[in-house]
A and B are shown apart, each in its own frame.
Chain A
């Protein structure tokens, strides 16, 4: 390591420095730090000289030292002119370091920074996409207001760049420009709108990020891209996935109706659902009438499911919150397994995930019950993790598992971590109140703890016992006596106060003990904590009212002590009590009611989870973690009563057609899954000889199998590449057709029926085919234009009637059971290792078109 440090250190002591650098640094020993220089000034002179040398190595060395200075928090701004000169350096490392420097100091030295702008403008036109991208990156990071127009122009151009990588950087630049000059918002939204249409997986995440930053309220921009985003999601890089999923969650909550309405009794129903078919029919019929899920809603839920398998905890959490917030309650169960998996991760991830589970487990216990034991505490967990686990265990406790849990809690109570032990006692108290069967068991357990050696444990037990007794005060005289004895030994103020309060409250049940306790307390009054003093006063007052014969003098003595106490709260309370209980001529009407006031029936405290009120925050957000609204938090809206027009998400097929190449089409029509498996078999037989040839062979073979539906679409698309004008008119036709269908949909019931039939046909094609074929019909219908599916309708009409009943059942069942669904597939990676670059490019295009394509609007 030490030899490395020579080479990469800011000191040029190693062999790295040549000539000039050597001269410059010859005055210091390699191990010497900057402190050895007589002054900063002189050192900077050296650096300047090195920067002006014509040797790259010297320049590089100087830049490294400068970056080292920045890292140490030293001011290197006066080197600005010397550094900026090197912005055009051919050496990539120098260039990068100059960029680092520029971004850091440009805002301070605006005039000089302008010198570098022309270099970037030139680089923006470079034939190399990576150079264009990095120029845009740095240009947009320079926070100099004068260049805002230049940046705007550069962003606009980059957004139209052929390279998706440059477009991705354009999306990043949008956010930077927006934070520099919010007045550009309108123009930037235009760029965002354009980039949202982009089909590259590289761009998707970045542009959604820009959308969230600049115009999160412009939900209308998403409509047309919704299906594309859903389909692309699996292939987007993981960070983009998180952002997109969060955005789509918000979107779904504004555009679809709630799938929860009927779900209240569902959990019970669900079990019987698996029991017999008759019941299933009944149930699905019942369900069908009030609610049918929008296919787009289903698409999102279905396409996010695979991401639960992501290695990235943030992605898993994002999907989990999506399921929590927008999927039918019966389906949300699948997320628990993945969330529990995350608990194996490092403590930070555990912390956040446990918090979210805590919130979920309050509302839907059933979800995490099977994983109860995963929340058992280990003595090596950090305390914050322990308490969170405890919280979840409490939420999950029910009649069935409480005895196991209590046994587990017994171990925790003895923990060396006293803070945790105290939390466990609280937990036991909560379990006791929630589950009436075990209240007595818990209470006797807690009473045992009163003889514990550790004061914190005892004090906590007293407090919890107090709360428990308050709920059922009738039959616990013994416990109160036991606690009264504890007053001699226990010193924690909260516990003492609790005991006194308990005795006061139950003074009529322990008539012999109560006055004696008061006597003892009167003796030690002056040395007690304020908290305890207040309770002594209360005890005195209560005894005075119930047993004035014995305690009148004692109480008056205590009131006198309280009158001259240093604490004004206590003096106030004393005055108040005296007026209330001691009858004199001045006392008003209230004193008549003193007994009622002091010995009123008090409502028992509710022992509630601290996570109870967190559910109004979207899960997985910073706001949820903090339980406070963070800046920039976007509320999840409530489900709309009536779904907004779903046709806004329909997309014209123009762009699709453009992307299509003959090779791409073949692939597009084959569901990826099938494609893999087919080529797999081929490859198995011919083993290592498999290459692009055999693959394309299998592709074409499959194309034939596809049958009429693929012919349809191939006819359709084959005409498109021919001429641009033809193509245009084609799309015009489609638009018209689409407009027709739209108006049809909105029209009177007869037309509506027609529309209905159409959607049924596509349904029937779904239902009749196996899951594999189903996805193929999906992609096929994606590729079709509206008008074409109209024509298909005729051919399928016959089948339709026969299968209508079955179809109904099938669709409904699939609404319930997610596993029946086969997600519209976009390949995770292309299995084309040996293909030529051009082919790869083709495939890339096709991949995009697959993903950009959209399920035709089914309405059931």
Chain B
């Protein structure tokens, strides 16, 4: 079972290591029988560091980190990794295990760090080594996930705050909870006991994203609406909520937070649940594909590169279309220009643009679209002289946001609370965003 002897020489960073049937974490196996550490380091360093050990990682031809396969086989181990926020989280596996099990868990770990430290960066992790260790200790036992619900973890280990660190230093108390958590033992492991608020509030954000591929001529190749309902629940006691929709039939495929009673949904299309405390994702859904997706923006573009000359033209105009009377805001256009592009001289009628000559990424921050004056970006593209002109025009990635609109037409009907006597404050917010919205040119 155990890894072969090998001294680990990680001088800094490195916390999370996994060996064994499933995931095993750092401390237990560092040093004498540790093999390599999981490294929460920047990619370039990671690559070098891991290069020292399992050769196959080194042989990774992946020029960019995005293409490091999540599962890598080495002579004695399997490395399963995720890449998030410029960090790799690696777990080292010795025997068969469903890879998604590990991947999902690693993401849960990263989520927890994010939740605790506000960001999941190398610096944050280094600054909070002790908490990281304490957290992992609670999250894993012998490679099997233990407590992964943030409500329970927060009861066990309090997240660091400036205030608490001051208080701790005065009173000598610690950031480990004194009371032993009971949530883990109950039938509702996602909710902590004894929640108390003076203002009882329940907010729901219905966020819909449009994934689309628009082809050259402006017709839609593929479009789909994906949505989530994120909740922020601050309710005392053990509230039992049920949320109903005006038009639940829209939801084609739904995934639930474990708190939701599946049967109620099956029979009545009502979301009935005892919520976790705080922020959480209630459901994610996909809108049935029969419905035509209204594409809120259109793009007029003409990008051309002249043969045998070192320049090209770039002209993009963006305008509203089927926006249901709402303003389209937060519009950003990102273009990955071909490698032969040296520089761009453009003039926007609105907003500002930047071009990074190293990564060749053009970003145009448009802002709000007003139908009276359509924003456009025009100008010249400087190409490397002598190089052949690019084969294909780059595709445009578009971001936008429409407040107070769920593009699918989904509407929350009502929210009822049972089990508690007080009257909570309730709110629902709708937002539509561009998801993976791509315009081919």
Q: Which residues of A contact B (CB under 8 A)?
A: 1, 3-10, 14-16, 18, 55-57, 60, 64, 67-68, 70-73, 75, 91-94, 96-97, 99-100, 103-104, 107-108, 128-131, 137, 140-141, 163-165, 169, 172, 175-176, 179, 201-202, 206, 209, 213, 234-235, 237-239, 242, 246, 306, 309-314, 316-318, 337-338, 340-341, 344, 346-349, 351-353, 370, 373-374, 376, 378-380, 382-384, 408, 411, 414-416, 452-454, 620-623, 625-626, 628, 630-634, 672-673, 676-677, 680, 683-684, 688, 690-691, 823, 825, 827-834, 840, 843-844, 847
Contact = CB atoms under 8 A, between A and B. Distances in A.
Interface stretch (B171-179, B320-328, B347-355, B425-433): B171-179
Interface centre among B187, B252, B336, B423 (most CB of A within 10 A): B187
A16 B258 contact: no
B237 A833 contact: yes
Given A73-B8, A93-B176, A414-B391, A408 B94 contact: no
A352 B26 CA distance: 25
Given A75-B31, A129-B185, 15 more contacts: A14-B169, A15-B170, A73-B10, A92-B176, A164-B185, A165-B184, A172-B142, A179-B20, A239-B101, A239-B145, A379-B438, A408-B221, A411-B215, A673-B263, A676-B261
Interface residues of B, number: 139
Q: Which 4 residue pairs of A and B lie closest in terms of their CB atoms, listed nearest first?
A: A833-B419, A632-B95, A7-B165, A833-B238
Interface in B267-323: 267-268, 272-274, 281, 284, 286, 289
A321 B12 CA distance: 41
A73 B284 contact: no
Interface in B125-180: 127-134, 137, 141-142, 144-145, 148, 160-162, 165-166, 168-170, 172, 174-178, 180
Given A130-B180, A337-B252, A833-B237, A7 B141 contact: no
Contacts of A5: 127-128
B254 interface: yes
A698 to B, nearest CB: 12
B148 A239 contact: yes
A468 B239 CA distance: 67
Contacts of B15: 71
A844 B95 CA distance: 36
A829 B274 CA distance: 7
Contact of A672 (B9, B20, B263): B263
Interface in B386-441: 388, 390-392, 394-395, 397, 416-421, 423, 436, 438, 440
Contacts of A312: 104
Contact of A172 (B67, B144, B260): B144
B199 interface: no
24 contacts: A1-B123, A3-B165, A15-B166, A55-B172, A56-B172, A60-B174, A70-B27, A94-B174, A97-B134, A100-B133, A172-B141, A175-B142, A234-B262, A314-B100, A351-B70, A352-B71, A384-B69, A620-B98, A673-B263, A673-B267, A676-B261, A677-B264, A833-B419, A834-B419
Interface in B53-94: 64, 66-67, 69-71, 73, 78, 81-84, 93-94
B261 A311 contact: no
Contacts of B168: 7, 16
B63 to A, nearest CB: 9
A128 B180 contact: yes
Contacts of A416: 336, 338-339, 390-392, 394
B372 to A, nearest CB: 32
Contacts of A832: 419
A580 B98 CA distance: 55
B240 interface: yes
B378 interface: no
Name the residue in B9, B73, B144, B188 with the highest tally of chain A Cβ atoms < 10 Å from its Cβ: B144
Given A628-B73, A829-B187, A622 B78 contact: yes
B263 A96 contact: no
Contacts of A309: 254-256, 262
Given A179-B20, A673-B263, A237 B189 contact: yes
A338 to B, nearest CB: 7
Contacts of A373: 221-222, 224
B438 A378 contact: yes
Nearest to B7: A73
A242 B101 CA distance: 8
Highest count of chain A CB atoms <10 Å: which of B28, B98, B165, B166: B98
A524 to B, nearest CB: 25
B257 interface: yes
B344 interface: no
Interface in B183-201: 184-189
Contact of B418 (A128, A415, A633, A688): A688
B358 interface: no
Given A72-B11, A172-B144, A622-B78, A632 B96 contact: yes
B199 to A, nearest CB: 18
Interface residues of B, dominant DSSP: mixed
Given A172-B141, A352-B100, A416-B390, A337 B165 contact: no
Contacts of B289: 370
A8 B103 contact: no
A657 to B, nearest CB: 22
Contact of B257 (A7, A9, A311, A676): A311
Given A415-B392, A673-B267, A8 B104 contact: no
A341 B31 contact: no
A383 B130 contact: no
A318 B96 contact: no
A222 B215 CA distance: 55
A338 B84 CA distance: 24
B169 A16 contact: yes
Contact of B98 (A67, A318, A346): A318
Contact of A104 (B27, B103, B123, B145): B27
B342 interface: no
Contacts of A311: 255-258, 281, 284
B438 A380 contact: yes
Contacts of A351: 69-71
Contact of B176 (A7, A96, A213): A96
B253 interface: yes
B129 A71 contact: yes
B96 A631 contact: yes
Contacts of A10: 129-130
A239 B130 contact: no
Nearest to B178: A92
A206 B28 contact: no
B346 interface: no
A246 to B, nearest CB: 7
B234 interface: no
Contact of A108 (B32, B131, B169, B181): B32
**Which of B15, B142, B174 neighbours the largest number of chain A CB atoms within 10 Å of its CB?**
B142
Contacts of B268: 677
A544 B375 CA distance: 69
B129 A68 contact: yes
A375 B173 CA distance: 54
A683 B421 CA distance: 12
B203 interface: no
Given A141-B28, A164-B185, A317-B98, A829 B261 contact: yes
A823 B21 CA distance: 33
Contacts of A338: 253, 255
A454 B186 CA distance: 63
Interface string B242-257: 1000000000111111
Contacts of A340: 253
A128 B129 CA distance: 29
Nearest to A632: B95
Report which residue of A107, A209, A379 has the largest number of chain B beta carbons within 10 angstroms of its beta carbon.
Answer: A379
B78 A175 contact: no
A71 B385 CA distance: 52
A71 B261 contact: no
